[in-house]
Chains A and B, each alone.
Chain A
Amino acid sequence: MRLHRRHLLQSSLLWPLSSLSAKRALGMSAITEERPEKLLIVLAAGGGASLVDSFLPVVAQSDNRDIRSYSEAMIDTVPGIQLQTLKSLPYTVGKPTNTSYTMASFLQRHGQDLAVLTQTCSSVNHLIGSQRSLNGNGINKGRTLMEAVAAAYGQQCLLANVNMATGGYALHGTDSTLPRTAKAEVVADALLFPLGLHRDLKIEGRADSKLLAEARAVRDALDQKSPLGGEASRSALIREFLTLRQQIPRLEAAQVMESLMFFDQARQQGGRDDRFADSSLLQKVRERFPHYASDPLEAQAALSFLLLRYGLSTAVTLGLDDQVRFQDGAQDKELLHLPLAFDWSHNAHQGAQNTMWRRLLSVLDRLIQLLKEEDYLGTAAHGKIWERSLLYIATEFGRDREPTQGSGHNLNNGHVLLSPLLKGNRVYGGVDPRTGMTFGYDPRTGLADPGRQMQEADTYSAILGALGIRFAGQTDCSGLWRA
């Protein structure tokens, strides 16, 4: 069969966007072949999100009075879910903290897919700890989890790896053999990120598009003729820039900006632009994240959903930052986000941890619900997005179990994973109620092993394995993976 230009476009350049409205505008039909890719969502819970203050609470007993624990009355459970969690702690920092959301409601909705993996990490330094939580302490040539997933499944994606986090969570890995397409696009502002996906749209008063196209053609010719042109062609940096510049039309033709622009036009300055006509999907996203314009975490969740839904990305990273934020409450301003996120724990450990966990889980709950409701690429044959997803709540380290007057950082902790690709509704490892310290598990069986401590490399291996990715030196974590 002779291949026409349109077939080539469908099969190579634009296939990740097979269900975009834009695609329909281009006259392209939905593609229904099997889609093997898996999706990774990382939530960077900066500052040391502590498991013994969320899903592994230690109950106060006569033999553990020296450590931080919780009364029986504070423990919350959900029928049918083996995991425990904590009730809400009233907490104020001059202003009341906002959320009425409970950790139990998260367990109720998603407990079947939730797995707690214990771990003892290798650094209590924020920058190093965050990097190692993503690169398994270098077990896979320095690739981050997101890079590994993007390299495995995102070769054809337009934005395979999008990172909205901060600090060490936003740094590239160190594998020099990583394909360029798997490197993260680091996002400064999730709400406005779509504006960076087209050279001209949403610019008021811009020139006629044909004249601008000619201006770019002239510019390219000037670059060739420039006295610096010859020199520039020998520079790897400039060659890279030019290669990336040549790829822009592909991004623009796919109408990615129009599809991702969840910022309501009614809130924007300037005239209405019909290219950005609202879809029911965008309206639904805004309804789920009603504070997207003022809360960066809600904006990140909205963007993450759309990137995954349209097959633009295989790895997205959300992140908490260190900025204190307020929102209007019933009577007064309320604290939406604590200064230093989970690291506010220096000052009032249990209240800060409880507040931040509930804030984080409230947003993740809504994101997961969307992923459970919507079909991948908008096509029922591909199944729900959630069926191929894994969500990893990454954090740098744990927290001291007894008051120290110091930073409160501790190597011992663990991570929360959520995925239908894992055997969920269970804890891998456990916690010693006398010391509050977590212990490990046998990764091949999943059974608790009180004499073992798990490392960053084990968690890294478990995550990639669940997503169907194998690499040299990987820990066999088959006891955790759902067949």
Chain B
Amino acid sequence: MRALLLGFFMLLMSPGLEASEWIWKRSRILEADLARALALPREDLCHELGLYSCFTGVHLFALGGNDAVGRSQYTPLEQPTQLSAIAVERVVSQACLQRIALDAETSAPVVFTSLKLQQTIAEQSETAVRAQIRSLSQRFLQRDPRAEEEQLLLHLADPQRFGALPARDLAHGLCLAFGSQLEFLFF
């Protein structure tokens, strides 16, 4: 009992995760988490110009990866580079678009289940948009969105500004907003 109390006391007193302990979700981990969030095979997530692998080729170093065999680079770069944030958004965008294209072509969508992807943004109900936001939040962050987060994301469905655009654009915007958040990119 004493040991249990001591353990509880230490837990209360522990400083929690030190800021310096944040870890950059580098290439392979980002690839795996994106694949899981969007229910896509890793190899289908992102190819620049439709051909060239984003994760093992084009953006490998900007995403924090390294290539020991092909390029004798045994350790990854310590810090993000000038182009890391661009690389992240490109791979997230392209993975999102892969999923959107698949879901738009089927009667049984997997990720974008609430939006009617063949219609415009103006034709989406607020209930459907909120449901899609909650679903994406679970997929990317494993939690429900807070009310203020949901409210912010609803800006992307503003009928005055974006109503005439296809719902696929809304799907892309929501997906990018979740997939490029710090909460998804660091752990």
List the B side residues contacting A216 at CB < 8 Å. 176-177, 180
B111 near A: Cβ within 8 Å?
no
List the B side residues contacting A195 at CB < 8 Å. 48-49, 58, 90
Which of B6-14, B32-40, B145-153 lies at the binding interface? Answer: B145-153
Contact pick for A192, options B52, B183, B186, CB 8 Å = B52
List the B side residues contacting A185 at CB < 8 Å. 62, 81-83
Contact pick for A248, options B20, B51, B85, CB 8 Å = B85
A322 near B: Cβ within 8 Å?
yes
Place the interface of chain B in its size category: 35 or more
* Bound form: Cα–Cα A10–B130 in Å: 44
* Bound form: Cα–Cα A130–B69 in Å: 17
> Which A205-236 residues have a C-beta within 8 angstroms of B?
205-208, 210-212, 214-216, 218-219, 221-223, 225-229, 231-232, 234-236
List the A side residues contacting B113 at CB < 8 Å. none
> Which B130-187 residues have a C-beta within 8 angstroms of A?
146, 148-149, 152-153, 155-156, 161-162, 165, 168-170, 172-174, 176-177, 180-183, 185-186
Interface of B is mostly: helix
A268-299 interface mask toward B, CB cutoff 8 Å, 1 = contact, 0 = none? 11100000000000000000000000000000
A26 near B: Cβ within 8 Å?
no
List the B side residues contacting A149 at CB < 8 Å. none
- Using CB atoms, name the residue of chain B closest to A247: B82
Please determine whether B83 and A232 come into contact, CB atoms closer than 8 angstroms.
Answer: no
What is the number of residues of chain A that contact chain B, defined by CB distance less than 8 Å?
66
List the A side residues contacting B41 at CB < 8 Å. none
* Bound form: Cα–Cα A199–B91 in Å: 9
- Using CB atoms, name the residue of chain A closest to B62: A196
A188-B67, A211-B173, A222-B181 known; A235 vs B85 contact (CB < 8 Å): no
- Using CB atoms, name the residue of chain A closest to B17: A231
B114 near A: Cβ within 8 Å?
no
* Bound form: Cα–Cα A94–B172 in Å: 52
- Using CB atoms, name the residue of chain B closest to A130: B72
List the B side residues contacting A187 at CB < 8 Å. 61
List the B side residues contacting A6 at CB < 8 Å. none
Please determine whether A236 and B20 come into contact, CB atoms closer than 8 angstroms.
Answer: yes
* Bound form: Cα–Cα A248–B146 in Å: 29
Nearest chain B CB to A295 CB, angstrom units? 16
B93-109 interface mask toward A, CB cutoff 8 Å, 1 = contact, 0 = none? 11001001100000000
A167-B71, A200-B93, A237-B79 known; A211 vs B49 contact (CB < 8 Å): no
Please determine whether A207 and B168 come into contact, CB atoms closer than 8 angstroms.
Answer: yes
Contact pick for B80, options A127, A159, A244, CB 8 Å = A244
* Bound form: Cα–Cα A188–B73 in Å: 11
List the A side residues contacting B148 at CB < 8 Å. 225
Please determine whether B71 and A321 come into contact, CB atoms closer than 8 angstroms.
Answer: yes
List the B side residues contacting A200 at CB < 8 Å. 93
A398-431 interface mask toward B, CB cutoff 8 Å, 1 = contact, 0 = none? 0000000000000000000000000000000000
Please determine whether A211 and B77 come into contact, CB atoms closer than 8 angstroms.
Answer: no
- Using CB atoms, name the residue of chain A closest to B164: A208
B89 near A: Cβ within 8 Å?
yes
A66 near B: Cβ within 8 Å?
no
Please determine whether A199 and B173 come into contact, CB atoms closer than 8 angstroms.
Answer: no
List the A side residues contacting B156 at CB < 8 Å. 211, 214-215, 218
* Bound form: Cα–Cα A231–B16 in Å: 10
Please determine whether B93 and A206 come into contact, CB atoms closer than 8 angstroms.
Answer: yes
> Which A102-139 residues have a C-beta within 8 angstroms of B?
126-127
A203-B90, A212-B176 known; A197 vs B153 contact (CB < 8 Å): no
List the A side residues contacting B82 at CB < 8 Å. 159, 185, 244, 247, 251
A366 near B: Cβ within 8 Å?
no
B87 near A: Cβ within 8 Å?
yes
Contact pick for B85, options A212, A221, A222, A245, CB 8 Å = A245
Please determine whether B20 and A203 come into contact, CB atoms closer than 8 angstroms.
Answer: no
Please determine whether B58 and A192 come into contact, CB atoms closer than 8 angstroms.
Answer: yes
Nearest chain B CB to A477 CB, angstrom units? 31
Nearest chain A CB to B11 CB, angstrom units? 18
Please determine whether A197 and B83 come into contact, CB atoms closer than 8 angstroms.
Answer: yes
A186 near B: Cβ within 8 Å?
yes
List the B side residues contacting A353 at CB < 8 Å. none
A12 near B: Cβ within 8 Å?
no
A372 near B: Cβ within 8 Å?
no
Please determine whether A241 and B85 come into contact, CB atoms closer than 8 angstroms.
Answer: yes
Please determine whether A228 and B83 come into contact, CB atoms closer than 8 angstroms.
Answer: no
A136-171 interface mask toward B, CB cutoff 8 Å, 1 = contact, 0 = none? 000000000000000000000001000000111010
A188-B60, A196-B83, A210-B161 known; A232 vs B173 contact (CB < 8 Å): no
Contact pick for A232, options B77, B80, B180, B186, CB 8 Å = B186
Nearest chain B CB to A125 CB, angstrom units? 12
- Using CB atoms, name the residue of chain B closest to A231: B19
Please determine whether A221 and B152 come into contact, CB atoms closer than 8 angstroms.
Answer: yes
Nearest chain A CB to B133 CB, angstrom units? 11
List the A side residues contacting B149 at CB < 8 Å. 222, 225
Please determine whether A223 and B182 come into contact, CB atoms closer than 8 angstroms.
Answer: yes
> Which B46-76 residues have a C-beta within 8 angstroms of A?
48-52, 57-62, 67, 70-73
List the B side residues contacting A323 at CB < 8 Å. 70
A residues lining the B interface (CB < 8 Å): 126-127, 159, 166-168, 170, 172, 183, 185-189, 192-193, 195-200, 202-208, 210-212, 214-216, 218-219, 221-223, 225-229, 231-232, 234-238, 240-242, 244-245, 247-248, 251, 268-270, 321-323
Could you show 21 A-B contacts with beta carbons less than 8 Å apart? A166-B73, A167-B71, A168-B72, A188-B57, A202-B48, A206-B93, A207-B172, A208-B165, A210-B161, A211-B156, A211-B165, A214-B155, A215-B173, A218-B155, A218-B156, A225-B149, A229-B182, A235-B20, A251-B86, A269-B50, A322-B70
6 pairs of A and B residues whose beta carbons are closest in the complex? A167-B72, A234-B19, A207-B169, A215-B173, A245-B85, A207-B172
Beyond A167-B71, A192-B52, A218-B173, 16 extra complex contacts between A and B, CB < 8 Å: A167-B73, A186-B77, A188-B62, A195-B48, A196-B90, A197-B83, A203-B93, A208-B169, A211-B165, A212-B172, A215-B177, A232-B22, A237-B24, A238-B182, A270-B49, A270-B50
